Copies of this chain bind each other. A is one copy, B any other.
Amino acid sequence: MQSTAGNFKVALIQMSVSSDPAANLDRASKKVEEAARAGAQVVCLPELYRSRYFCQTEDAAFFDLAEPVPGPSTECFRELAARLGVVVLVPLFERRAPGLYHNTVVVLDSDGRTAGMYRKMHIPDDPGYYEKYYFTPGDLGFCAFRTKVGTLGVLICWDQWYPEAARITALKGAQILFYPTAIGWLPGEKEGNGPAQREAWRTVQRGHAVANGIYVAAVNRVGHEDQRGAEGIEFWGSSFIADPQGVILAEAGGEEAVIYADVEPARMEDVRRTWPFLRDRRVDAYDGIVQRYLDEGPAERADEKH
């Protein structure tokens, strides 16, 4: 029988978001309370939980949505975390300085203190997701945060496609990777390639769980959000928690939901003993990872010998 020492219950808040930041904060608070009452020890909100996904267009007025750290979100959830005794992951639009903004998650420990902060490292930019306009790429690197409950890795949305981010965070000792997210379909996209896109999104993250022998939790928003001048996005929800073998432990649909699962360190150790990937990494041969592309690699040189 496996030890239950160090087990902890996580909750993901899959929610829709209105155009009223104060109302979103209030609703998110109530959902954190609900999750804590249900036994959750770590609660994670979706990316930019306090506002609509404003990145559908490029408009300087939306910078007004940003908040400092500390600020309204961290003050509210700091009090809540301490009162309920739960860790809360708060993804917010951070105003760091005039003209300098980040897509950030603050990790508040169960005594209300700040366990750490992560700034989104990989910033997307494609039609409907103009994030390079709003967010300065993160400068805090990839981190695992030691809380009173467990060691938590935090990454954000577009990061979820990058095995490097998952690997480095795992090597820092994380037991679970949280991915607060805002992903969905553009109009017309859902009909054709929609299911394949969502499945690819699940697969790559379950792959991180397998490759690293680690729990993975993706927390998406739901609902259709229109914006002036944009066609809107249907956020696909489908938040999930996978175990260190990539098995889905809990999963939401396309509606609001709070989902729960237990992180079990003994299970993680068991999976890593069965498949000891970390033991056999060829750290002597991974230099190419830090290059943009390897055009001048051995392949081309070997080819010239023909």
Q: Does A288 contact B (CB under 8 A)?
A: yes
CB-CB < 8 A to A247: which residues of B?
Answer: 196, 199-200
Q: Which residue of chain B has the shortest Cβ distance to A201 in the bound complex?
A: B210
CB-CB < 8 A to A2: which residues of B?
Answer: none
Shortest Cβ gap from A151 to chain B (Å): 7
**Stretch from A31-39, A57-65, A218-226, A272-280 contacting the other chain:** A272-280
Q: Does A88 contact B (CB under 8 A)?
A: no
| Interface residue ranges of A83-115 to B (CB < 8 Å) | 113, 115
CB-CB < 8 A to A288: which residues of B?
Answer: 142, 167-168, 171-172
Q: Does A5 contact B (CB under 8 A)?
A: no
Q: Which residue of chain B has the shortest Cβ distance to A171 in the bound complex?
A: B294
Shortest Cβ gap from A56 to chain B (Å): 17
Bound Cα distance A298, B118 (Å): 12
| Contact B141–A298 (Cβ < 8 Å) | yes
Bound Cα distance A151, B294 (Å): 13
CB-CB < 8 A to A298: which residues of B?
Answer: 140-141, 143, 172
| Contact B200–A146 (Cβ < 8 Å) | no
**Stretch from A42-50, A119-127, A231-239 contacting the other chain:** A119-127
**Stretch from A7-15, A20-28, A157-165 contacting the other chain:** A157-165
| Contact B168–A294 (Cβ < 8 Å) | yes
**Beyond known contacts A143-B302, A168-B294, A284-B290: 11 more, CB 8 A cutoff:** A115-B302, A141-B285, A146-B299, A163-B208, A168-B286, A172-B297, A203-B210, A204-B211, A207-B207, A283-B289, A289-B289
Q: Does A291 contact B (CB under 8 A)?
A: yes
Q: Does A228 contact B (CB under 8 A)?
A: no
Instruction: Give the A interface residue count (CB, 8 A).
Output: 71
| Contact B287–A171 (Cβ < 8 Å) | no
| Contact B302–A122 (Cβ < 8 Å) | no
Q: Does A173 contact B (CB under 8 A)?
A: yes
Bound Cα distance A282, B172 (Å): 17
Shortest Cβ gap from A37 to chain B (Å): 27
CB-CB < 8 A to A191: which residues of B?
Answer: none
Q: Does A246 contact B (CB under 8 A)?
A: yes
| Contact A199–B246 (Cβ < 8 Å) | yes
| Contact A171–B122 (Cβ < 8 Å) | no
Contact digits for A192-205, partner B, Cβ 8 Å, 1 yes 0 no: 00001101100110
| Interface residue ranges of A129-170 to B (CB < 8 Å) | 137, 140-146, 151, 158, 161-168
Shortest Cβ gap from A175 to chain B (Å): 12
